[in-house]
Chains A and B, each alone.
Chain A
Amino acid sequence: EEAPMLAERVAAGTLPNVDERLPKTPRVVTPYDEIGVYGGTWRRAFTGASDDRGPQKLMEPRIVRFVQTGPETFDIEPAWASSYETNETSTEFTFHIREGLKWSDGHPVTTEDVMFYFEDVVGDDNPWPWPSLMEQGDSRAVISAADDLTFTVTFEQPSPLFITRLGREYVWMASPKHYLSQFHPSYVSTDELAAAASAFNVEGWQDLWGRRGKAQSFWLNPDVPTLSAWTVKTPPPSEQVIFERNPYYYAVDTEGNQLPYIDQISHDLFQDVETLNLWVAQGRIDLQQRHMRVGNFPFFKENESSGSYEVVVWNGLEVDTLWPNQTTSDTVMAELFQQADFREALNVAIDRDTINEIVFAGLATPMQAGPPKGSAIFNEELVGKWAGYDVDRANELLDGLGLTARDDDGFRLRPDGDTLEIVITTALFASDINMLELINEFWSDVGIKTSLDVVERTLYLDRVNANEIMMGHWPMGRAAFFLIDAGSYAATLMDNSWANAWGEYQLDRGKSFAVAPPKDHMIYDVWSTLDAALTAGTQEEAIALGADILAMHAKAPNWVGVVGAAPNLFIRSNRMGNFPAGFIRDDITRDIGIIPTEQLYIKK
Chain B
Amino acid sequence: MTGYIVRRILWFIPTLLAVSLVSFAIIQLPPGDYLTVLESQMGAEGDYNPEVVARLRERFGFDQPFMVQYGKWMWAMLAHGDLGYSFEWRVPVSSLIGEYLALTVIVTAATLIATWLIALPIGIYSAVRPYSIFDYIATILGFIGKATPNFLLALVLMWWAFDTFGADVSGLFSPEYANAPWSWAKVRDLIAHMWLPLIVLGTSGAASLIRQMRANVLDELQKPYVEAARAQGLPEWKVILRYPVRVALNPFLSTIGSSIPELFSGAVTTAIVLNLPMAGPMLLRALVSQDMYLAGSFIFLLSVFTLIGTLISDILLTLVDPRIRFEES
Contact = CB atoms under 8 A, between A and B. Distances in A.
Asked if A and B touch directly (CB within 8 angstroms), the answer is yes
B49 A284 contact: no
A503 B55 CA distance: 26
Given A213-B90, A274-B273, A281-B162, A170 B47 contact: yes
B75 to A, nearest CB: 14
Contacts of B39: 458, 461
A203 B60 CA distance: 10
B40 A214 contact: no
A53 interface: yes
Given A278-B162, A284-B175, A458-B37, A202 B88 contact: no
Interface string B246-289: 00000000000000000000000001111111000100010001
A27 interface: no
Interface stretch (B104-112, B166-174, B215-223, B313-321): B166-174
A236 B155 CA distance: 27
Given A169-B47, A274-B273, A282-B162, A49 B179 contact: no
A186 to B, nearest CB: 18
A212 B91 CA distance: 10
A414 to B, nearest CB: 31
A53 B41 CA distance: 10
Nearest to B151: A272
Contact of A462 (B36, B96, B274): B36
Contact of A49 (B88, B92, B170): B88
Contacts of A128: 52
A202 B32 contact: no
A94 interface: no
A270 interface: yes
Contact of A306 (B86, B158, B166): B166
Nearest to A41: B175
A354 interface: no
B43 A461 contact: yes
A262 to B, nearest CB: 17
Interface residues of A, number: 57
A546 B24 CA distance: 51
B36 A458 contact: yes
B132 interface: no
B45 interface: yes
Given A214-B90, A239-B277, A458 B40 contact: yes
Given A234-B179, A239-B178, A306-B166, A201 B92 contact: yes
A268 to B, nearest CB: 6
Contact of B46 (A207, A242, A587): A587
A279 B168 contact: yes
B300 interface: no
Interface string A263-307: 000101111101100110110100000000000000000000010
Contacts of A344: none
A183 to B, nearest CB: 14
Contacts, number: 121
A237 B285 contact: no
Contact of A132 (B49, B158, B173): B49
A190 interface: no
Interface in B189-241: none
Interface in A449-498: 457-462, 478, 495
B121 to A, nearest CB: 34
A220 interface: yes
A239 B68 CA distance: 35
A428 B95 CA distance: 32
A565 B93 CA distance: 42
A48 interface: yes
B51 interface: yes
A418 to B, nearest CB: 30
Contacts of A266: 175
B31 interface: yes
Nearest to A130: B51
Contact of A240 (B55, B178, B289): B178
A278 B179 CA distance: 21
Given A211-B52, A212-B90, A214-B91, A274 B155 contact: yes
A275 B170 contact: yes
A78 to B, nearest CB: 22
Contacts of A168: 46
B4 to A, nearest CB: 40
A239 B289 CA distance: 19
A236 B159 CA distance: 29
Interface string A507-531: 0000000000000000000000000
A100 B197 CA distance: 54
A587 B44 CA distance: 9
A278 B91 contact: no
A271 B272 contact: yes
Contact of A282 (B85, B96, B166): B166
A560 interface: no
B60 to A, nearest CB: 10
Given A210-B52, A275-B273, A282-B162, A49 B168 contact: no
Contact of A129 (B55, B90, B158, B285): B55
A237 B91 contact: yes
The 7 closest A-B pairs by CB, nearest first: A129-B51, A275-B275, A271-B281, A239-B178, A240-B178, A49-B88, A457-B40
24 contacts: A48-B285, A50-B41, A131-B49, A203-B85, A206-B59, A207-B90, A214-B91, A236-B89, A238-B179, A239-B173, A239-B277, A268-B178, A269-B277, A272-B275, A275-B274, A278-B159, A278-B170, A281-B162, A457-B44, A458-B40, A459-B31, A461-B40, A462-B36, A495-B43
Given A275-B171, A429-B44, A461-B40, 10 more contacts: A210-B52, A237-B91, A240-B178, A271-B275, A271-B281, A279-B168, A279-B170, A282-B168, A284-B175, A462-B31
Interface of B: 31-32, 36-37, 39-41, 43-47, 49, 51-52, 55, 59, 85-86, 88-92, 95-96, 155, 158-159, 162, 166, 168, 170-171, 173, 175, 178-179, 271-277, 281, 285, 289
Interface of A: 43, 48-50, 53, 128-132, 168-170, 201-204, 206-207, 210-214, 220, 234, 236-240, 242, 266, 268-272, 274-275, 278-279, 281-282, 284, 306, 429, 457-462, 478, 495, 587-588
